[in-house]
């Protein structure tokens, strides 16, 4: 399966947040973190002190206003549903152009799988170490929203 949409960034981006691959809900809506139980937008909203955006355009505006880029480590793979544990035959995203056309100095992984895949496929090419953050996925039930916000507060916005 090919990644169905482009990275979100502009030339002012300083921070890159990488997931693994879009969930079924995200693929249906053609935008990141679309599952209603995923806490990504609540976390970023709290960190940027912006009211929780409800439209794709408002989500894009919030990220770009705060110099945050988002993308995924995987450009294509075999995946069953939304399960990271089913991912096989990974072809990584080419981060070169994004990094060349922005001011990104910090890269963060949304979860352990994104962290591991970036280290395996991308870190040597980019030369930027990735910082692992706890996943905002509803599957990561051990982390409450409050704990996620605290852990994610290390992002250099």
* Residue 157's pLDDT band (cuts 50, 70, 90): low
pLDDT at 120 over 80: yes
Distance CA 105, CA 51 (A): 26
pLDDT at 139: 85
Mean pLDDT of 45-53: 96
Q: What percent of the chain has pLDDT over 90?
A: 81
Distance CA 54, CA 52 (A): 6
Percent of the chain beyond pLDDT 70? 99
Q: Which residue's structure tokens are 């947040």?
A: 17
Model confidence over 52-110: pLDDT tens digits? 999 999 999 999 999 999 999 999 988 787 777 777 888 999 999 999 999 999 999 99
Pairwise CA distance, residues 27 & 25, whole Å: 5
For residue 134, is pLDDT > 80? yes
Contact indicator for 9, 66 with CB cutoff of 8 Å:
no
């Amino acid at each position: 399966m090919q990644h169905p949409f482009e990275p979100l960034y502009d030339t002012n981006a300083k921070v890159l947040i990488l997931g693994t691959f879009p969930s079924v809900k995200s693929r249906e809506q053609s935008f990141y973190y679309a599952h209603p139980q995923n806490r990504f937008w609540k976390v970023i909203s709290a960190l940027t002190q912006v009211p929780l955006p409800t439209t794709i355009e408002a989500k894009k505006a919030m990220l770009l206003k705060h110099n945050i880029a988002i993308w995924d480590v995987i450009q294509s793979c075999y995946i069953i549903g939304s399960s990271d544990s089913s991912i096989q035959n990974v072809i990584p995203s080419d981060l070169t152009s994004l990094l060349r056309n922005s001011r990104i100095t910090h890269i963060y992984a949304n979860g352990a799988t994104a962290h591991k895949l970036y280290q395996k496929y991308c870190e040597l090419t980019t030369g930027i170490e990735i910082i692992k953050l706890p996943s905002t996925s509803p599957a990561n039930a051990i982390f409450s929203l409050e704990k996620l916000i605290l852990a994610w507060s290390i992002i250099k916005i």
